[in-house]
A and B are shown apart, each in its own frame.
Chain A
Amino acid sequence: DTAVSQTPKYLVTQMGNDKSIKCEQNLGHDTMYWYKQDSKKFLKIMFSYNNKELIINETVPNRFSPKSPDKAHLNLHINSLELGDSAVYFCASSQDAGTSGTYEQYFGPGTRLTVT
């Protein structure tokens, strides 16, 4: 069974559209994350949720809105897509948010978003 899964794997869309990426983890973790990897492979955290509560919100345009319906799912909705949003988006999860120690994060396979 895949520990952290994302759908879709590839997403091609036009500027101005709205799209969503879904993420699910079956590890029983409390904390989930979204990362963006740009064309130079640089990875940066965007958001983190702990038990459905937003705990990390980096300087991301408010066109990006994460939603966590339960602690096993963290979705990313993007409004009014722009060319610069083209990237690979990774979901990750960890045992907890760090309150009891530093736990490694487990990453999904990524979603390659291409905006034309």
Chain B
Amino acid sequence: AQSVTQLDSHVSVSEGTPVLLRCNYSSSYSPSLFWYVQHPNKGLQLLLKYTSAATLVKGINGFEAEFKKSETSFHLTKPSAHMSDAAEYFCVVSDRFLSGGYNKLIFGAGTRLAVHP
């Protein structure tokens, strides 16, 4: 079965310092992986996605993530945090072969990122 584990429920950083949000996944075949961001009282916005092309994926707002199959990880990073990055971040896996060929997204529990001045 597919699953996603976000290793930190809360992460707090100072503005201008690096951000690391950790994600491990479990999937039998070659999954597709996503990071979504949810700002307070807003919908979900796609940050980036991995679909078996380059293992280092660049997204919007300076975020990037690296797919490491040997570690079954897809950690999200950003070199320098901005106040506007404060939000809830979700790591998501989709494995069509385990979902009858359909795009069924399995969400992690989320990581709340706080950014301090």
Contacts and interface: CB of A to CB of B under 8 A. Distances in A.
A105 B103 contact: yes
A55 interface: yes
B103 A94 contact: yes
Interface stretch (B16-24, B60-68, B70-78, B88-96): B88-96
Interface stretch (A14-22, A37-45, A67-75): A37-45
Interface string A15-55: 00000000000000001000000001111110010100001
A108 B43 contact: yes
Range of interface residues on B (Cβ < 8 Å): 20 to 34
B103 A31 contact: yes
A56 interface: yes
A66 interface: no
B90 A104 contact: no
B32 interface: yes
A61 B30 CA distance: 32
Given A98-B104, A109-B43, 18 more contacts: A31-B103, A41-B38, A41-B88, A41-B109, A42-B107, A42-B109, A56-B99, A90-B43, A94-B103, A96-B103, A98-B101, A98-B102, A102-B51, A105-B46, A106-B46, A108-B43, A109-B42, A110-B43
14 contacts: A4-B43, A56-B102, A90-B43, A97-B103, A98-B96, A98-B101, A98-B102, A99-B101, A101-B51, A102-B103, A105-B46, A106-B46, A110-B42, A110-B43
Interface of B: 32, 34, 36, 38, 42-46, 49, 51, 88, 90, 94, 96, 99, 101-105, 107, 109-110
